[in-house]
Amino acid sequence: MQERTFFVNGYQLAAKEWNQDAPIKVIACHGWLDNAASFDVLAPLLGHCHIIALDMPGHGLSDHKSPQASYNIWDDLLDLLAVADEMAWQSFNLLGHSRGAIISLILSASMPERINALVMLDAVLPMPIDISETPKQLNRFLVEQRRALHKRLPRYSSVDEAVEARCKAASMNEDSARPIVERGLYTKGDSYHWTSDVRLTTASAFKLSAEHNKAIIESITMPSLLLLAEGGMGERKEFLNFAENHSTLNCQMLPGSHHFHMEEQAGDIAKIVERFFRK
């Protein structure tokens, strides 16, 4: 593994890179408030995959966006394409977890000529809202964005205290949480602070409707694999129904929590993912 940086779209993105000489080109996208360390367990097991795991903007070691910018899910698509261009990857594969899976699916639907295959880990699309709720959603965005100007994320007296807080907030075990937390902290005086942009904790300006989701999923033409965790999104009936109703998704259920790709199931997930990408 080596650290990488990309200067794209006016800011710097940090990344972790594995298996530089491997033939299968993969960009990996982490979940909300995670970072590239989310793939520390899985990536080394994907020996045939050259993996660029990004710290998405506002996460980990990457820059925050400018004050007038936003963190809506479609805002990340240009960054993924720019990183692929920097790597000279005209076509590539996507591996996404949670929010990163949603971003990967949307990019695959909108730029199918660039994506060879898609793997989603415990997420597919965001839960839709009725179009009539749009003004309320935009109100939440405006109120919370303005509040974020004065909001501060928690600070901690030690890394262990931050790990404990993350485990509690995200229902993670300590082994899974620690690498993400350690990459997502900086020290200031005697305390530890999150590197993530406080605006990531605010509401989205808009959310997709059921019609949007249907159009996106029905536009998928490349091979796609959805792995759901029994103790994660696999517990939610709406995700199972969505997967079962769309034949373009090859869906499998596996044991584990929402971060199952960092747990004891990582070896099994790696075998499934690598077999899928190689095929």
**Residues designated catalytic:** 98
Give the β-pairing of 49-54 and 115-121: unpaired
Q: Rounded to the nearest 5 degrees, what angle is found at the Cα of 184, between the Cα atoms of 180 and 186?
A: 140
Residue 228 DSSP SS3: strand
Give the β-pairing of 49-54 and 24-29: parallel
End-to-end CA distance of the chain: 25
- Rg for the chain (alpha carbons), in Å? 18
167 burial via Cβ count (<10 Å: 0-12, 13-18, 19+): middle
Where do we find the tokens 């590539």?
Answer: 92
CA distance 79 to 276: 25
Q: Which long-range contacts (CB under 8 A, 24 or more apart) does 149-157 make?
A: 151/198, 151/201, 152/198, 153/193, 153/194, 153/196, 153/198, 153/201, 154/194, 155/188, 155/191, 155/192, 155/193, 156/185, 156/191, 156/192, 156/193, 157/190, 157/191, 157/192
Residue 8 DSSP SS3: strand
In sequence order, the β-bridge partners of residue 49 are 24
Give the β-pairing of 92-97 and 185-188: unpaired
Residue 125 DSSP SS3: coil
